[in-house]
Amino acid sequence: MSMAKFLFRRTLQGVFVIWGVVTVLFGLRAVSPGDPATLMLGQGATQDLIQQVREEEGLNDPIVVQYGDYLAELVTGDLGYSWRSEREVEAMVIERIPATLELAIAATIIALLIAIPLGVISATRRGSPSDYGATLFSLLGISTPNFWLGLMLILVLGVWYGIPYPTLSTGSTIPVGIGLIDLPTGRRAVGFGEAFMTLLTEQSFDEMTLWLKHITLPAVTLGTYFTALITRLTRSGMIDELGKPYVTATQAKGLPGVLIRYKHVLRNTMIPIITVLGLQMGTLMGGAVITETVFNWPGLGQRLINALSIRDWPLMQGIILFVAVMFVFINIVVDALYTYLDPQVSIE
């Protein structure tokens, strides 16, 4: 099967999954308590007004008709309006994407940079102190809830360096320090795109540094679980691979150990790692919801929690749908990546 045909089929499957997600979301909204018209208008609305809105929004139609209308709107790219702010959901989702995406990518990069070397060292020096250290770290990493980790990072850095900061609930902006470097514990002062443009146009690193400082603590918080997970996967994958005959053969040929480890063995270990990374995108998004809440980070997760607490279903649906589409897309990319990593995997 050709790549094009494979991608076509996977995309078709993806569309089916998205349809499923949309249906589940619609179902949840339909059975959730609370009258949408009342939620839209607030408690003080008159019955007449509520009836009028119900009629306009098609809430008096049979559920099947409502479902059909909803699907039809989605197909044309219309996500509807937020019940509370009356803004377009599409705009409310799009404006929050960069913050979440930056956080997720930064966390993934941190995870890969730390976890892969750590896993390789751990696997090649089994039973050594560095192996025990890595094992202990990864056990702690997968067992620590990230909201608590975030708070403890703030606490430890704040207490060690004695720099005061205000309460988090009010949205802290005063930095916690690591020595001379200030690490803010909340808010996102500048976007990566903006910072990068300043770097290009004004040759100034100031904005970039500001961005980096703000994202460090949230990214470490979100990335720790993945670092731990990938360390574990790399270690066990490498141990399996190192026992295979081809490794002995390359050793017998006199290839240097580093080359064997990183070029041959690691390459074969990457396949399960990438699979898990793809499937873990959901966990990453779930983690982002929490991390954004802890650090007051203006991303999709924070908006989702707000939408949820006021039962703003169109906004919730929009955000969850976006996350699901991302998940499906990433997993198609992962499947396609296999063929490059392992020529033995044929597309079928």
Contacts to other proteins by CB under 8 A = 13, 16-18, 20-21, 24-25, 28, 31-33, 139-140, 142-145, 147-148, 151-152, 154-155, 158-159, 164-165, 167-169, 225, 229, 232-233, 276, 279-280, 282-287, 289-290, 293-294, 304-305, 308-309, 311, 316, 320, 323-324, 327-328
Least distance between other proteins and beta carbon 186 (Å): 12
Q: Based on CB atoms, which residue is closest to other proteins, 15 or 49?
A: 15
Distance of alpha carbon 219 from alpha carbon 326, whole angstroms: 19
Least distance between other proteins and beta carbon 205 (Å): 31
Q: Are 146 and 221 in contact (CB under 8 A)?
A: yes
Kindly list the distances between the CA atom of residue 219 and the CA atoms of 100, 147, 148, 315, in Å, as whole numbers in the listed order.
10, 12, 14, 25
Q: Are 99 and 191 in contact (CB under 8 A)?
A: yes
Q: Based on CB atoms, which residue is closest to other proteins, 38 or 209?
A: 38
Q: Based on CB atoms, which residue is closest to other proteins, 195 or 324?
A: 324
3-state DSSP assignment of residue 177: strand
Q: Based on CB atoms, which residue is closest to other proteins, 34 or 62?
A: 34
Least distance between other proteins and beta carbon 84 (Å): 14
Distance of alpha carbon 13 from alpha carbon 335, whole angstroms: 13
Q: Based on CB atoms, which residue is closest to other proteins, 215 or 290?
A: 290
Least distance between other proteins and beta carbon 114 (Å): 17
Q: At what angle do helices 266-279 and 97-124 cross, to 10 degrees?
A: 140
3-state DSSP assignment of residue 75: helix
Least distance between other proteins and beta carbon 215 (Å): 20
Q: Based on CB atoms, which residue is closest to other proteins, 94 or 163?
A: 163
Token readout for 31 is 């059975």
Least distance between other proteins and beta carbon 33 (Å): 7
Q: What is the DSSP string of 268-291?
A: HHHHHHHHHHHHTHHHHHHHHHHH
Residue with tokens 């839209």: 40
